[in-house]
Amino acid sequence: MNRFERRDFLRAAGAGVAGVTAAGLLAGRAGASQTAYFQHGVASGDPLPDSVILWTRVTPTPDALPGSGRGPAVDVGWQVAADARFEQVVASGSVRTGADRDHTLKVDVRGLSAATGYHYRFTVDGVSSPAGRTLTAPAQDADVAGLRFGVASCSNWEAGHFAAYRHLAARDDLFGIIHLGDYIYEYGTGEFAAGGRVVRPNVPVHEILTLADYRMRHGLYKSDPDLRALHARHPWMIVWDDHEVANDAWSGGAENHDPATEGPWAARLAASRQAYYEWMPVRVRADGAIHRRLRFGRLAELTLLDLRSHRSQQASGVAVDDPARTITGDAQMAWLKAGLSASQTRWRLVGNSVMISPVALGALPAYLLGPLAKLLGIPDGGYAVNADQWDGYTADRRELLGHLRDGRIDNTVFLTGDIHTSWANDVPLTAATYPLSPSVATEFVVPSVTSDNIDDILKVPPRSLSPVAEGVLRTTNRHVREVELDSHGYGVLDVQQARVRMDWYALSDRTRADTDSSLLMSFATTSGSQRIVRV
């Protein structure tokens, strides 16, 4: 095989109603109700000290369904208030939206006060949307004692319910939600479900390819009540991974895209990006770039990376060490390094989408073999389990981690999703040499909200085979302080001046909307240590 997909990685480590119909969406439309106009809820995102993005979608007529291209243009009012009863409105306005943008709208509200909670809503024809709650970031020079964030990734509609979002929405101690990608999945029905079982079918049922398809799939996901509740409860800070377009996407294509049968990659990419910009509460630059920084006083700065748009195609073997290969692209790498060097906060959080820590199985690292390594075709860090991660782009990883060491940049914490499992890692300067090679950062990897992992793919009871695989992973990768391969859930990141702690929470049963959650494990890194410990 030329490369591993996520499901291949997990296998190796372990070695009806069709959604959004017009009737369903518009039930209760009589009387121009809130349910009729605002089927997809409200959302906020990318909080700054003086502004925040507000989002909603309007369904002005019964046939104006996501992706339909139907329905009249409408004027939508918006209000931001200091109180839940909207008696103290601090900002308001009106935006026109229509079928050209799938009846979605975004407002970048300016002139707000720093570190302040607000309530917001939208109106059409005198009918108000559900109210949302949001927060602005602390002022850049503010001394912030601590903040908590929910952290999530990989929410696959067909594989279960979004109970993880319900549990996060129920918390009142969070500043906001960091979502690390795979917010939607592109597959057709049955192609990637819950161990082969479709819990609830996709809309559309086929693999999504066109702008209408992507709009419909986004609309389906935002018909989930738990997802809508979490969007309405907290501001989100989001970055995409690959499934917002297609599996194992890179700058010129994807593993799950065949130009011969599915058309030009550029057309599919453009359609998916347009739908994403329309449906997500993100602040995007004029050139369409999504990598960005958000600062929270002097406590922390969050850097959100785009690790799909600029990367080289996935490779395997010694090709992963080719210095011409990139996962960030040159411009984003320069921007990332400059930002890490210039940061004036205690903590540098990096929303990273794919794991940066090296993971190798069943091979000696090249440095132990000397000249034999090239003859045997062994990469410098050993055989990578998943070359879709930073393991497939070792030159970029060396450049970034070397920059942290050379610049004496402490307190860098990578926040990662993508591989549907839970990891607590030290990040060694040189792969396969830990602990002889120092750790220059730490990494917390959160599990999937619903997407399949070890026991799901192998169709075995949880914790029957995975403990063996976890032991092998820890033995061959000594910088991996803990790994758990079976649970679905979410993380809660607690950032304080003295330390950053991640609590992992596991769902009892992802296929049940009413499932409970429990604490799985906790790890922390203290300021200046560059290492993590169990707490």
On whether the 6-31+138-534 domain is CATH 3.60.21.70, my answer is: yes
Q: C-alpha angle with apex 495: 490 to 497, nearest 5 degrees?
A: 165
pLDDT reported for residue 25: 32
Is the Cβ–Cβ distance between 118 and 112 less than 8 Å?
yes
Closest CA to 400 of 419, 385, 414: 414
Q: Does domain 32-137 have CATH number 2.60.40.380?
A: yes
User: For position 11, what pLDDT does the model report?
Assistant: 41
| Unique residue bearing structure tokens 């909603």 | 56
CA dist 420 and 445 (Å) reads 9
Predicted pLDDT at 364: 45
Question: pTM here?
Answer: 0.92
Neighbours of 38 (CB within 10 A): 23
Pair 118, 135: CB distance under 8 Å: yes
Q: Helix/strand/coil (H, E, C) string of 208-231?
A: CCCHHHHHHHHHHHCCCHHHHHHH
Closest C-alpha to 164, from 138, 183, 142 = 183
**Residue 495: its pLDDT value, please?**
98
Q: Are 153 and 254 in contact (CB under 8 A)?
A: no
| Distance between CA atoms of residues 468 and 15, nearest Å | 9
Distance between CA 353 and CA 64 in Å, rounded?
34
Query: What is residue 433's predicted lDDT score, i.e. its pLDDT?
Result: 83
Asked if the bond preceding 204 is cis, omega within 30° of 0, the reply is yes
Give, for all 535 residues of the chain, the pLDDT tens digit. Answer: 233 344 443 443 443 223 333 333 333 333 457 778 999 999 999 999 999 999 999 999 999 999 999 999 999 999 999 999 999 999 999 999 999 999 999 999 999 999 999 999 999 999 999 999 999 999 999 999 999 999 999 999 999 999 999 999 999 999 999 999 999 999 999 999 888 899 999 999 999 999 999 999 999 999 999 999 999 999 999 999 999 999 999 999 999 999 999 999 999 999 999 999 999 999 988 888 999 999 999 999 999 999 999 999 999 888 999 999 999 999 999 999 999 999 999 999 999 999 999 998 654 444 444 444 444 455 666 677 789 999 999 999 999 999 999 999 999 999 999 999 999 999 999 988 888 889 999 999 999 999 999 889 888 898 988 898 899 889 889 999 999 999 999 999 999 999 999 999 999 999 999 999 999 999 999 999 999 999 9
The residue ranges of every structural domain in the chain are 6-31+138-534, 32-137
| Residue 118 near residue 90 (C-beta atoms within 8 A) | yes
Structure tokens at 350: 């990096």
Query: Residue 72: is the preceding peptide bond cis (ω within 30°)?
Result: no
Answer for the pair 5, 12: CB distance below 8 angstroms, yes or no. Answer: no
Indicate if 32-137 has the same CATH topology as 6-31+138-534: no
SS3 476: helix
Looking at residue 6, what is its pLDDT? 46
Measure the CA–CA gap between 174 and 147, rounded to whole angstroms. Answer: 7
